[in-house]
Structure 1
Amino acid sequence: MKPVSHLDSYRRHARAQAPPVPDLGAPWEARLARADGHDLELVHRWNQAPHVAAFWRRAWSLPEWERRLAEQLEGDDVRPLLVCWHGRPVIYAELYRAARDALAQCYPARPHDLGLTLAVGELALTDRGLVRTLLPRLTDALFEADPHCTRVVADPDVRNLRAIRSFEAGGFVAVDEIMLAGKLALLMVCRR
């Protein structure tokens, strides 16, 4: 018989608040992406870009993005973010509670674990070190904003070597290959 840990009950029943919007400090800024106007158009356009769509598979219509962003903003599981560098939006990110995501079926998620997906929207801004520079600052800000969070996880597509190298350079460690809906992913973890 498997020994029972007092944490097993905690993992099943504890519920963390919505993911925090991190305070990154200049020249970076993270803010919630609005479900209308320029934000909506930007998120939609970026997700149509071939370098993003190839791995995110979210080349949805504008009305679908409007609906998805509105749902995320109304709920407490996912925070859609625009990350700005020197005042210019350059990265779309989704910050989510991993324990309330399909990812939790692939590893022993804790209630305060944060999941992170991100994409540099403009192809011309890829391979410039933006993500590598951002990630240590972002994970530090997330750990500071949620003192109960001990892990930030990511699940890039195993074929997305650019993303994997960026996550590794940003302090994430590859843990295992996992099967998610529509992709073989690499589970990566950054610990407090």
Structure 2
Amino acid sequence: MRCETTPLLHLDDGFDLRPAVAEDATRIADWMAQPHIRKWWQQDWSVERWAQVLDEQAAGEHSTPCMVALDTEDLGYVELYRVRHDRLAEYYASDEHDWGVHVAIGDTVRTGQGLGRRLLRSVADALLRADPRCDRVVAEPDAANVASVRAFAAAGFVTQGELRLPEKTALLMVRPRTVEA
């Protein structure tokens, strides 16, 4: 493990996940400028700002920025975070070991093909496998982001209620640990 927030993950379904580094800032900045991401993430930042943010995340304990690839081709950005280190912990009855996830599929050629739900399922499964103390993975997509909410639901996340965050009305979506045979 790189730091407390970075579990050693093995993703299924052909996905690869690696830590994002400052050299990825150009690609991430391009993705965040795409209309389907910009509207929801509101992080249409310069390459320089993204490089700085990635360095800060790598040095801290709050979240781990990641690049996700399918068949060795980068297609999106993922942030993994311990909810206890995030403001989200103030909005629901979080557990000390809850993991949170943010996902953006940046490659517009690959959107609308069900990759989001496959990726979300794979990331949640990997987090739950890697951390036996974790009983749930959570997300807080904007309630108006129908595509994202559908992808989370199709990946096994269950809506637990509405959260009024300062910048959005979100749905608390939870992927519980499944019983393994």
The equivalent of 2:18 in structure 1 is 31
Higher alpha-carbon Rg? 1
Aligned equivalents of 2:119 and 2:52: distance in 1? 28
The equivalent of 1:73 in structure 2 is 58
Q: Is the 8 A contact 1:82 1:89 kept in 2?
A: yes
Q: Is the 8 A contact 1:177 1:187 kept in 2?
A: yes
Q: Is the 8 A contact 1:26 1:86 kept in 2?
A: no
Aligned equivalents of 2:104 and 2:92: distance in 1? 23
Q: Is the 8 A contact 2:22 2:52 kept in 1?
A: yes
- Within-5 A mapping of 1:20-169: 20-25=7-12, 27-36=14-23, 39-169=24-154
Q: What is the CA-CA distance between 1:19 and the residue it aligns to?
A: 3.2
SS in 2 for 1:65: helix
The CA RMSD over aligned residues, in Å, is 1.4
Q: Structure 1 residue 170 and structure 2 residue 155: aligned? A: yes
Most deviating of 127-136 and 50-59: 127-136
Over 3 Å counting, the alpha-carbon distance change for 1:25 and 1:168 in structure 2 is closer
SS in 1 for 2:126: helix
Aligned equivalents of 1:55 and 1:190: distance in 2? 21
Q: What is the CA-CA distance between 1:135 and the residue it aligns to?
A: 2.2
| 2:143 maps to amino acid | V
Aligned equivalents of 1:50 and 1:190: distance in 2? 27
Q: Structure 1 residue 190 and structure 2 residue 175: aligned? A: yes
Q: Is the 8 A contact 2:5 2:80 kept in 1?
A: no
1:7-66 Cα offsets, whole Å, 9 max, x none, are xxxxxxxxx921314211462110001112xx1111111011111000001111222111
Aligned equivalents of 1:114 and 1:142: distance in 2? 8
Q: What is the CA-CA distance between 1:154 and the residue it aligns to?
A: 0.4
Q: Is the 8 A contact 1:21 1:79 kept in 2?
A: no
Unaligned runs of 5+ in 2: none
| 1:188 maps to amino acid | M
SS in 2 for 1:119: strand
Which aligned segments of 4 or more residues in structure 1 are displaced greater than 6 angstroms? Answer: none
Unaligned runs of 5+ in 1: 1-15
Q: What TM-score does the superposition give when structure 1 sets the normalisation length?
A: 0.87
Over 3 Å counting, the alpha-carbon distance change for 1:21 and 1:90 in structure 2 is farther
Q: Is the 8 A contact 1:174 1:187 kept in 2?
A: yes
Aligned equivalents of 1:54 and 1:105: distance in 2? 24
SS in 2 for 1:41: helix
